[in-house]
Amino acid sequence: MLHPTKRFCGSPEHVLSRRAFFGSTAGMLAGSTLGLNALAAPALADQMQRNQKSAILIFLGGGMSQFETWDPKPGTSTGGPFQSIQTSVPGVRISELMPLMATRLRRHTAIIRSLSTVDLAHSGVNLLGGERTDVRGVKAPTLGSILAKELSHPDSVVPDHVAFFNTKNGANFLDSAGFIGSRYEPTNIFSRLTPEANSLPPSITDADHRERATLRDQFNQGFLAGRQRDSVLSSHNTAYGRVRGLMASDSLFDITREPQRVRDRYGATLFGQQALVARRLVEGGVPFVKLLRGWWDTHTDNFDVHAQLVPDLDRVMSTLLDDLEDRGLLRNTLVITFSEMGRTPIINPARGRDHWGKCWSVTLSGCGIKPGVVYGSTNEGGTDVAEGKVTAVEYFATIFSALGIDHQKEYHAPDGRPVAITPYNTRAVTEVLA
Amino acid sequence: MPAYHFRSCLILTALLLSGTTRAAADELLPADRAFAEVIDHYVDQKLTKAKVTPAPQADDATFVRRLYLDLAGRIPTPSEVREYIGSTDPQKRTKLIAELVASPEFIRHNATEFDVFLRNENSDISPQAGVRGYLIAAFKESRPWDQMFRDLIGVSDSPHPDKPETYVIRRLKDREALTRDISSVFFGLNISCAQCHRHPFIKSVTQDYFIGMREFFAMSYDFQGNLLDRRFQKPAEDMAKKDSKGKKDGKDKKEETAKKVETMPVKLMFLNGQTVEREDEPAEDPAKAFLEESKAIEQLGKTYAKEKKLPQQPKFRARVKLAEFALQHENRDMFAQAMVNRLWYRLYGYGLVMRIDQMHAKNPPSHPELLGWLTRDFIAHKYDLKRLIAGLVSSKAYSRSSQWKEDSPPAPELFAVGSIRPLMPAQWAVSFGIANNPELILGRDKPLEAREKAIISLENPGLQSHIAFPRDDMPIQIVESMRLSNDAGLNSIIGKQLLPMLKKAGDRKAQITQAMWAVLSRPPTVAEYELFERHLEARKDSPDAGLQQMVWVLINSSEFRFNH
């Protein structure tokens, strides 16, 4: 029974399920501490990766157009100039701008064409929170932080949550850990490939740095004696213990360790290179990586801009999926595409499309997903959902389920209130789950 | 239901909610006893009952550091510690408490602490947007807590130049959060559960309670940065008319009836279940009156910059009524004990009631008579915060060692062992400054203004931002340790001013001793001395680096990071 002073609501509305109580421990215990050696020893990596799950979120910032990607409507008044092409899934066509993904749909990817959201204001943060209205007054964690927490191992020395941005500014698109603890805050990396704080300060050598940490640990033991009862105190000490380990994870971010042909495949763009780092991180046991690729907000010249950005996405995404598959990682890695909204069917006078939440597309590939499935549909002009409307939290529930996480699992907010990771009674889209 | 039966239901609920499981007055120790005596009497009583032997008293050096951190928000300088340890005055503890409570540091530290708890972790209010300016002024003049309450909800007789009522103004855009913050902060009872369903423990607390409490602020609004009240309410029929525009006929009528039912005026209800009479302004045509008032407000808003004229205020203001009601003789226990518990929690690391925002009869205090006595004293001395704080730190229970030598730690509500509390960012930053250069602190013989200035210069917001904000059981993040280990800027200032002083100290023994005194406010043990001696010996080719690393170790030790 929960301790009475911790428990806040015993009301029937917040009944804890047994499953929620037992969290998902299955994948976590396989030594993520080995992550750093894994890249040098592929066999070891294979054994380790069998259990460790990860997620990569490709967030298309600004609002990517579903017409020019996953749900084309050629030949209609809303369809725009591009054609559609046949994919490896019979009867399913996507934009001609994505030939590489077209051939990979059947092997890797499920599409949801009926995502329907409300917020039209570039508030990535709101979307990363699932547009929830049931968590008022509480700083609930966003999608990335929840995944980081659920998929990480407590003793891990690699970062739990890394986010890459291809712009200097990503303020509207930051994940936050909220009340689940700052360990799951993202390491945000803007316009570069490596984090900033990990390197030695110039004033000290690596050997001295290590010795200093050891000296500190030795000195600290005296104070810790007779004070083990306090968890915050222990966490302070552990935080220093993890520093050296985290610094060692610097090698994961170093793409010069990859053969040139691999780097070439991902392409010389920042987005491509960041995706390559993402693969290395996942391979090294990092549970969650976000790649924020901007900027898709095409109020003008929608077609010209998408003609540039979509093939780039096509190339990077297909390379990433192939690469993960080749290394045996894809079955334990979920690759998610998401955005803060879609774009309007109506083409405005500036040859652009504007903000649109009513019906747009997202995709899921890899771990726990049934590839080749298209769930939901839009009507002929793409002006409304025809079948299978999916909300943001239902999408999240699907993501959690694909990774073996109970999507009704409960956390407890600082005021004691239970907060489930998706609102009560949210259902996952089981049709896309393996 | 017969009237008397209804009334007794109300009274029963009132008792349940007021949480006064405090014993009848004749069971409490007399009011003229000293705080220390009373606190230790009740705490020791419970310890005896539980057959638990408490930890011994902390040694002088440890005690002084704890007291300075709790009252002045900083570590003591080595000379301040030595003075206390060396004194043979049997009253030295009482005198030190009195001295610290009168210091400029006390004012600033409490302004910081109160600013944090007033914010109530409301994530919509940025950390910079607090009421700290007002709080500094309030503590400077030793303003009583009931006056501060009135200031903060904007019903004070004389408006304060630092605008404490911005506390409410900032929360007007989210009335639910405002209700939750006011209830939790001033009355120790978070009823936001009751927003959606009845309270899990107090069955009679229904949505009415939440709505009733929220209603005290329903008419309040922000007029050009002033917290004012509307005279007329927005009529709900108005909304019904709006909705029915352009819809089919049959539907119209149903919606209008539904809206009419909702227009019954919402009761003002205090947290103890008592309803409070309201006297709304009479109006022949409420909708018209509302519109006219809105127009007037808009007009005055346009001319405000020049003319500074405020819209007419109603005679009856619910916020005023809230303050009156909450501080009335029968109701004021809730208000008083919430602050008593909160200060106890801050100083002892664990409340007499836990969680501190769940003070109700189904969640009784661990020491009901003690809470009762302290509450009675607080009220009797007109909500004097200084007196209460000074009293709470005078007991033996407060000054116990935080080390527990046996295997299983005692239940926290026994207060058998001293608490371990992480420093707040402000405490850390100021203490960091002192550890690096103890001479920055000016002695008590120097003028107050100069002393205050010295402290202000140490309250480095940039430095504070590196330190995690403590919350119940919240682990300390690796970002903090990473930065302190690797950030070039931070690493260059750690020990920067201390190092030259250490180099002048002479031999290694003197250097180690001085460093320990500066950072940890105590002399090294033999084992610690040997540990650093070995380290400095191994570094004898680069003695500066050796010293700097030693200082880094001390600054990053858990002992420095925590109040213990």
Q: Is A236 on the interface with B (CB under 8 A)?
A: yes
ipTM score: 0.87
Contacts of A206 in chain B (CB under 8 A): none
Q: Is B491 on the interface with A (CB under 8 A)?
A: yes
Residue B69, in any domain of the structure: yes
Domain match, B300 and B365 both:
no
Residue B376, in any domain of the structure: yes
Nearest chain B CA: its distance from A226 CA (Å): 5
Contact A215 B553 (CB under 8 A): yes
Contacts of B559 in chain A (CB under 8 A): 220, 223
Domain match, B16 and B79 both:
yes
Contact B486 A247 (CB under 8 A): yes
Q: Is B482 on the interface with A (CB under 8 A)?
A: yes
Q: Which of B363, B474, B557 sits opposite A220 (nearest CB)?
A: B557
Do B188 and B342 touch, CB atoms closer than 8 A? yes
Residue B59, in any domain of the structure: yes
Per-residue model confidence (pLDDT) at position B196? 66
Domain boundaries, chain A: 16-194+254-432
Residue B117, in any domain of the structure: no
| Residue B358 lies in domain | 3-102+329-399
What is the reported pTM?
Answer: 0.78
Given 3.30.230, 3.40.720, 2.60.40, 3.30.200, which CATH number is that of A16-194+254-432? Answer: 3.40.720
Q: Is A133 on the interface with B (CB under 8 A)?
A: no
Domain match, B392 and B430 both:
no
Domain match, B455 and B395 both:
no
Mutate to test the interface with A, among B124, B198, B423, B478 (most CBs of A within 10 A): B478
Boundary (domain end) residue, out of B399, B416, B436: B399
Cis check: omega of the bond before A360, within 30 degrees of 0 = no
Domain match, B453 and B526 both:
yes
Per-residue model confidence (pLDDT) at position B558? 96
Contact A225 B198 (CB under 8 A): no
- Mind listing the pLDDT tens digit for each residue in A115-142? 999 999 888 889 999 999 888 767 889 9
Residue B39, in any domain of the structure: yes
Domain match, B305 and B362 both:
no
Domain match, B46 and B93 both:
yes
Please list, residue by residue across B291-309, b when 16 or more beta carbons sit within 10 angstroms of its beta carbon and e when fewer do.
eebeeebeebeeebeeeee
Per-residue model confidence (pLDDT) at position A250? 82
Nearest chain B CA: its distance from A229 CA (Å): 7
Q: Is A197 on the interface with B (CB under 8 A)?
A: yes
- Mind listing the pLDDT tens digit for each residue in A237-265? 888 888 887 787 888 999 999 999 999 99
Domain match, B381 and B509 both:
no
Residue B302 identity (one-letter amino acid): K
Lowest mean per-residue pLDDT among A300-314, A373-387, B443-457: B443-457
Do B231 and B290 touch, CB atoms closer than 8 A? no
The total number of structural domains in chain B stands at 3
Q: Exposed, middle or buried, B526 (CB in 10 Å: 0-12/13-18/19+)?
A: exposed
* Distance, CA of B88 to CA of B83 (rounded, Å): 10
Q: Of A379, A433, A372, A330, which is closest to residue A87 (Cα–Cα)? A: A372
Contact A201 B196 (CB under 8 A): no
Boundary (domain end) residue, out of B382, B399, B416: B399
Q: Is B477 on the interface with A (CB under 8 A)?
A: yes
Residue B413, in any domain of the structure: no
Domain match, B558 and B430 both:
yes
Q: Tens-digit pLDDT profile for chain B (564 aa)?
A: 444 444 444 444 555 555 444 455 558 999 999 999 999 999 999 999 999 999 999 999 999 999 999 999 999 999 999 999 999 999 999 999 999 999 999 999 999 999 999 998 776 777 777 799 999 999 999 999 999 999 999 999 888 899 999 999 999 998 888 999 999 999 999 887 676 666 666 666 677 888 888 999 999 999 999 999 999 988 775 544 544 444 444 444 555 544 444 456 678 888 888 888 888 888 888 889 999 999 999 999 999 999 999 999 999 999 999 999 999 999 999 999 999 999 999 999 999 999 899 898 889 999 999 999 999 999 999 999 999 999 999 999 999 999 999 888 999 999 999 999 999 999 999 999 999 998 888 888 899 899 999 999 999 888 998 887 777 666 777 778 888 999 888 999 999 999 999 999 889 999 999 999 999 999 999 999 999 999 999 999 999 999 999 999 999 999 999 999
Q: Is A412 on the interface with B (CB under 8 A)?
A: no
Q: Which of A9, A183, A185 sits opposite B193 (nearest CB)?
A: A9
Residues 243-302 of B with CB under 8 A from A: none
- Provide the pairing of β-strand A333-339 with A54-60: parallel
Per-residue model confidence (pLDDT) at position B200? 63
Domain match, B429 and B555 both:
yes
Domain match, B288 and B340 both:
no
Residue B532, in any domain of the structure: yes
Cα B144 → chain centroid = 15
Q: Is B533 on the interface with A (CB under 8 A)?
A: no
Residue B202, in any domain of the structure: no
Is residue A56 over pLDDT 80? yes
Do A77 and A381 touch, CB atoms closer than 8 A? yes
* Distance, CA of B193 to CA of B209 (rounded, Å): 10
Per-residue model confidence (pLDDT) at position A412? 87
Domain match, B495 and B553 both:
yes
Q: Which of B121, B193, B557 sits opposite A219 (nearest CB)?
A: B557
Q: Is A202 on the interface with B (CB under 8 A)?
A: yes
